[in-house]
Structure 1
Amino acid sequence: MGTAAGLQSAGRTWALGARGICYLGIAAIAWGTVIRVEVGAWTYHYSDQGDYMWEQARNYCQTFFTDLVAIQNKQEIEYLNKSLPFHGRYYWIGIRKLGGIWTWVGTRKALTKEAENWAAGEPNNRRSNQDCVEIYIKRQQESGKWNDEPCSRKKKALCYQASCQPLPCSQRGECVETIGSYRCECYPGFHGPECEHVVQCAELEPKGARMNCSHPFGDFSYNSTCAFRCQEGFEQRGAGTLRCLASQQWSAETPTCTAITCPVLRAPEWGELNCSHLHGDFAFRSTCAFSCQTGFVLKGSETRECTATGTWTGDAPRCEAITCPVLSAPDRGDLNCSHLYVDFTFGSMCVFSCQMGFVLTGSETRECTATGTWTGDAPSCEAITCPVLSAPDRGDLNCSHLHGVFAFSSTCAFSCQMGFALMGSETRECTATGTWTGDVSRCEATTCPVLRAPDWGDLNCSHLHGDFTFGSTCAFSCQKGFVLTGSETRKCTATGTWTGDAPSCEAITCPVLSAPNWGELNCSHLHGDFAFRSTCAFSCQTGFVLKGSETRECTATGTWTGDAPRCEAITCPVLSAPDWGDLNCSHLHGVFAFSSTCAFSCQTGFVLTGSETRECTATGTWTGDFPRCEAITCSALATPKMGHAACSHLHGDFAFGSTCAFSCQTGFVLMGPETRECMATGTWTGHAPHCEAVSCPVLATPSKGQLSCSHEHGNFTYNSTCAFSCEEGFVRMGAEVLWCAATGNWTRHPPVCAEDAAPFLKQVLAYSSGTALAVAGIVLSGTLIALLAKRLSNREEKKKLLNPTSDLGSPGIFTNAAYDANL
């Protein structure tokens, strides 16, 4: 259900309707209530229920209306700001950033600078995700301005409904939406508010041509077309069809009809032309007559007429020269003709000549006349002759004659007897000048190539017919240290070649040498690899020394001087394992020799000091320092307080294998292990022991007495002393001072405090005399006896009190006899 808002704009009154004007059915339930502001044919719409993301808002507008609103001018913004109600989240409009450009989505047109309506500081595209645009409606500040926002925010959808009808503008223009109305942008050729008027062109009046027109919008108006054609024999000049354009001009000038022309005729070569023209030179119905000059005959039509198709009747005539019989060249001769018109026709001129070696007899030139005959007589050619030839001395002559004996083109071949070579031309030919080609031939003895002594060799020759000619013989030999390879003798044959092969002197070779193991070989070869006078120098690689000859030379006997050398590895001093350690060596070239490597290690409880590995160098010395194995040390142990430590060191003070025994002084007992040993890990076995003082039983303060103790090593421990005293009226029964002995016992039993009887006895004795004294003594004795009996009855109880551990049979408790003595 929708609500319409009422406005007054541009002189019109917009009625405010009640809810319930527009029912959208199911779509209204999905999108909420529709609010429509209606302005004539163009309307705005928004929903009053629910907010949508930009894409949802556009889908809403496209579903029920046309699209999100496209704002065209400032007046439209003022109208919307005044008409729409305030909404805290504002309204989406139809502009969005596409490809980095703010674009009206409905028209796909970019936002121009002039049409921008951004609020201050906008668009800022904060965090590069604000690609959609809202409009501030009734905002306290910058009302009606735009702000870029994230497209995921939810706002009201502001839509528009297009106003153009399905067939507006007389179907002759494009309907353009405006606020409250629309306007027609007419297509070319139309004008008026509804494009109802059509453009008119000038009426056509062709001359000499027939016209046929069609007028879709009225006579001689926009898009009227006129077709033109001419009578037979005439052709149209200009466009065949004209169209009235939107500019009120015809598409071309009015055409005209002119007589069709035929190709211009010319008089044939060696002929004449005579024409008459009815409609123009060489145009429709022109006629032409043809004729030829003396010595020529006309071939083709004598007259021709220009037709309506622009072609001439008949064939193009020509004037052909009168012909004479074809001439041919005489035997061994040539014919050279110049034809003024056609071959062998009137005016042709032919010149005769003979080939080289022949001479002409008869007319040299002949000409074709107008009667078709040649002047002069037919000529002929005869061969030229040369002087007669004879065979050379010691040779033969063989001739062939083509045109007569010793005449032009005769050829003669010359040859010599075996062992002789022809000097001069082998063949001679009689030329066109009557002379022979080449030089006079003669026979001379065949020569062989001049021989040379081979390198490091000698040559000795004998010549029969001249140096190095047929019959010459040559002997070859070599110098010391070289041997001949090839023929020892060679003879010059009749063919000009030598028998046998060219010999050479090759140096005597020695056995191939190779570099000794761990060594190098550098040779210089004077006459070839490892051949006579080759010298080789030997050297050894680093760490090796040469034994044998440093250089050797290949002798003429094919043996080497000196002895074969060898390379022996340089040795280093013999190494031995360190005390308490091991030695492990690898020897590449010999025991303790160059490149030998030795690794050192120590037995358990020892650590290596010095180089772990040593290598024998090329100088015969070892790398690194001599290692040694030192015992792993433990931390020094301290003698426990009031104790003793006795240590034995096997490999050094407090080192691996050291053992320490612990004991305590008199009156102390050892707490912890009695012995500790330094291990291979550098730690001691066990924990550090200590001496604790021997403890005596704790003493209690006597009844009616005091206890005062001094503790040297701890409460009631060895050497603690305790002194006892009694209150007034009581007497101490026992030792005054007790001492804690090393056995863990006190030196005496603890004393007790008893009532003092001395004052009573003194009073009895003071008042007694004589018999009375005796009686008193008897009485006193009885009294004392009774008192002692009472005292003795309490003795056991007091004994238990003073010595509570007596029942346990402790070895440190005093005996009853000792106790009685103290009493």
Structure 2
Amino acid sequence: MSFWTSVNCWSYHYSQTKMTWQQARTWCQEHHTDMVAIQNQEEITHLNSWLPKKSTYYWIGIRKINDVWTWVGTNKPLTEEAKNWALGEPNNANKDARRSEDCVEMYIKRQYQAGKWNDERCDKQKTALCYSAYCNYSKVNAFTCVCYLVAVRCPAISVLENAVVNCEGDTKTKYAYGNSCSFSCLPGYNLVGTKALTCTASAEWSGNVPYCQVIQCSKLSNPQWGFVRCSDPLGPSSYQSTCVFACEEGYELTGSQTDTLLCESTGQWNATQPSCTAVRCPAISVLENAVVNCEGDTKTKYAYGNSCSFSCLPGYNLVGTKALTCTASAEWSGNVPYCQGIVQQSFHCYTGKPNLIMNCSSNNSELAPGATCSFNCEPGFELHGAENLQCSEDVQWDEAVPTCEATLSQVTLIASGVAAGGAVSLSGLSLAMWILRKLKNRASKFDLSR
């Protein structure tokens, strides 16, 4: 198997395997015309461009015969003007006559001295370089050429999605040797690969065909206390993607002029990503004679979900709820309360009353909230209820006011006095019961809670 290209009146071929110089000539003669005979510098330039690089390089049709470098196809000596030796060559580096360097190799795609010749031992293994004539009559190796100029063609470039391809030449020649194709992408796409390719002499493009990749924007994430929903027609976070942001109840979007972001052809979103911030209720103004305690710091104490508690200074009653919470609608859960001064009440009606004796921590006639009083009864009466009471903030006793009831000895004494005077005709027992009921009714009138 061989690979080939054509220039002027003949085509070039090279073997896929390595062989000695003699084996190479035999292979060329069996499959083609003969080993390559270099005609001019343009031919050298073409071969160096077309042939692939081989580590051992290529055999060509020159050999030393009777100590003269000779073109083997024409059996003519190599003329001085046709010589193309590399610097310092030929040098017959091997001085052993049995292993002398009598054959010629051509450097292809060598870093230095590319296209030049070097004398080499004929038993070395190298790639055969041949030509085939497009003719029946000789001017090259005794043939006369009839020329058919056939340019090699590279594979057609298939339609590339989202790309623009511009090639040199017309529809018949745009993929021919030497012509180039340039590539660009539609808006919203990046070119991956080279911007231009050239068809080489080996009928291959000078590189891989590029492609267009959709541009991507940075990935968006759900904001704290919110979420984002995206539509991605060309792929996640890609060109033409749209993302809509929303917040949980009690929060609102801040930090952006829009709730919808669009990925543009530049690879950037058209606006900054918004965030979610808690809604704020109206600030609570300073309340007279009140103490207000709110959750959070100075920036967040009126934010959604936080609460404020209210209490009053001594001598004032709270009118309204004890606590308010900022709701999702940015309104407090109720009306703001206020503190109302307590109307001082006089308890002088109890002073000097029979039976119940009251001793207080402050003046009995002007009992203020917080005052405490102890109670006991006059001799002959018994205390029923709490011995100690405290006046609360709303000017109410913390328990029911106690009462005094007559003892049995007192009832007997009264009954005896009445019987001795003959004031009534009832029996002693009936009289005693009547007096006891009267005393109970009288004691109930001493209720301090009125």
Shorter-chain TM-score bucket reads 0.3 to 0.5
Kindly indicate which of the two structures has a greater share of residues assigned to helix: 2
Greater gyration radius: 1
TM-score with structure 1 setting the length: 0.25
Question: Higher relative contact order by CA 8 Å / sep ≥ 6: 1 or 2?
Answer: 2
TM-score normalized with structure 2 length: 0.45
